Structure 1
Amino acid sequence: MSDRTHHRPMTPGDGFFAEIAGGTDPAMLREAGDLAATVLVRGARESEDPALAERVVHLAESEGLETLAEVWSGAPADTLAGSLWRLFLLRSWVHADPERVAREYDAGQRRVDVARVVAGVADPPGPDELRRMVDEVLRGIARGDFAVTLFRAAAFARIVAAGRAALGRSSHDEITRMLALSEQLEAAGLGEMRDALG
């Protein structure tokens, strides 16, 4: 018989990470972060609560991006926790500067046609359309196929990287980071399809 204490499953919302963040043991924090990621991705699909997808989308706002960073940012890209961190980081970036993202996306979409179809952004891609698209991608965490969610986000990041290169206003490091994000999300999507995303 296990000595491990069992708790009621966590659900996203105010205080979701209250017992996780702020701890002193990095191993326990990492384990709690992995558990929270599993509950979010695997548990959300089993829920009958229609508001759950909206709570997942707004998790960074309700909990704070700093809290998510503390819990997930150190996780490898090929884990649930690591891929969730990258998805929420992408959403926060789009919402913080949607005009810039719209310019970069517009400049890149003709260079990466296949990715444009996967990303599923309206044409022309204005700031409001991009905010709606990235929120819809994150809703896929709770009510869609998680691999598709990762592939859509990867395609979006690839288009933005191409747009940054085309516009010539971004540094080489900014372009490289966005391309790396795209590759990490795509690899995570492949891992999810193989049931290897842990």
Structure 2
Amino acid sequence: MSTSASNLGSSSIRSSRTGFVGMAGSGRPSRPGQLDSAIVDQLSGGMDPQEINEVSHVSAASLLDKVHHTTDPEVVNRIVTLVDREGVDIVAELWSDAPADSLPGTLWRLYLLRTWMRRQGDAISRLWRIGEPTDTAASAIAGVDAAPNAADMARTADSILSGAFTGDFAVALGRAAAFCEVIARGLAATTPTFDRAPQAAQHVQAAQRAGQAGKAQAAARKTANSLMTTARDFAKAAQLWRQGKLE
């Protein structure tokens, strides 16, 4: 059974405002508990774009610093599950416009990667097994065992994001990059094909199937390309972090 972009819903990754297509499906919360109330009040009242940019950078750095300096596992868990508990809308308003080579833009993509992996675990685990049929360096870097299932995807998602906050940030980004590359390979390998020379008696049905397959191919290519772009974004951010230039 092949897995196409349609099996993954609209949760592909892209380097634009939303980071992952269609991930902001949850209702808007009143305010996320881990964001300063004054910041949220300003957001709801409308802020100057420059002010939003400044707040996004300050809030991302503060959040990362807060968790790096705590030994309380409950604090770590609250940060990792922030989007689960509070919804994505306000966090998106704060971070989603940030460039991919910035700290808030990188954290935004990490949060959305986790959400995507947990929501689409079955489809993504199948794509992993296709993109990584035998263990390579990517398996070791991403920290994914052979033949993972949806539960493994959820654990990996949590591990990557929590590792970003509690461990080496660049290592976590390397894991995220390797993961995206494998899923992109798996998706490319499952791109559907169709008969381009149908029998005359079957030309109507064949044309319909060809049209559907063509749309599926286009969607799969778009998602795979988006995943590869996100992998490059994570890899570049890791390099900038090591150089002390990810802000």
TM tier, smaller: 0.7 to 0.9
Distance in 1 (alpha carbons) for counterparts of 2:94 and 2:85: 15
Asked if the contact 1:17–1:63 (Cα under 8 Å) also holds between the matched residues in 2, the reply is: no
1:14 aligns with 2:33: yes
Q: Determine whether 1:197 maps to 2:197.
A: no
Deviation at 1:124, TM superposition (A): 1.6
Which amino acid counterpart does residue 35 of structure 2 have in structure 1?
A: F
1:28-64 CA-to-partner distances (Å, cap 9, x unmatched) read 1221111111012223111232222211210112231
Number of aligned residue pairs: give it. 186
Match of 1:174 in 2: 223
Query: Does the 8 A contact of 1:44 with 1:143 survive in 2?
Result: yes
| Structure 2 contact 134–146 (Cα < 8 Å) conserved | no
Structure 1 range deviating more: 44-53 or 89-98: 44-53
Amino acid at match of 2:231: S
- When the two chains are superposed, the root-mean-square deviation of aligned CA atoms in Å is 1.8
Match of 2:236 among 173, 187, 195: 187
| Percent identity (aligned) | 32
Structure 2 partner of 1:24:
47
Which residue of structure 1 lines up, in the alignment, with residue 6 of structure 2?
none
Stretch deviating more after TM superposition (148-157 or 109-118): 109-118
Once structures 1 and 2 are overlaid, which stretch shifts more, 128-137 or 110-119? Answer: 110-119
AA in 2 matched with 1:153: A
User: 1:15 deviation in Å?
Assistant: 5.0
Distance 1:183 1:39 in 2: 25
Q: Give per-residue Cα distances to partners, 1:136-169, cap 9 Å, x unaligned.
A: 1111122111111111111111110011011115
Partner Cα separation in structure 1 for residue 123 and residue 36 of structure 2: 31
Instruction: Return the alpha-carbon distance in structure 1 between the equivalents of residues 246 and 97 of structure 2.
Output: 16
- Structure 1 residues 16 and 164, CA, compared in 2 at 3 Å: closer, same or farther? same
Greater RCO (Cα-Cα under 8 Å, separation 6 or more): 2
Residue pairs, 1:104-123, within 5 angstroms: 104-110=127-133, 113-123=136-146
Cα contact 1:45–1:143 (8 A) shared by 2: yes
Pick one of 183, 198, 219 that aligns with 1:160: 183
Partner of 2:73, secondary structure, is coil
Q: CA deviation at 1:122?
A: 2.2
Q: Which one-letter code corresponds to 1:173 in the other structure?
A: K
Greater CA radius of gyration, 1 or 2? 2
User: What is the match of residue 36 of structure 1?
Assistant: 59
Unaligned runs of 5+ in 1: 1-12
5+ long unaligned stretches in structure 2: 1-31, 193-218
Query: Counterparts of 1:49 and 1:89 in 2: how far apart (Å)?
Result: 24
- State whether structure 2 residue 92 is matched by structure 1 residue 69: yes
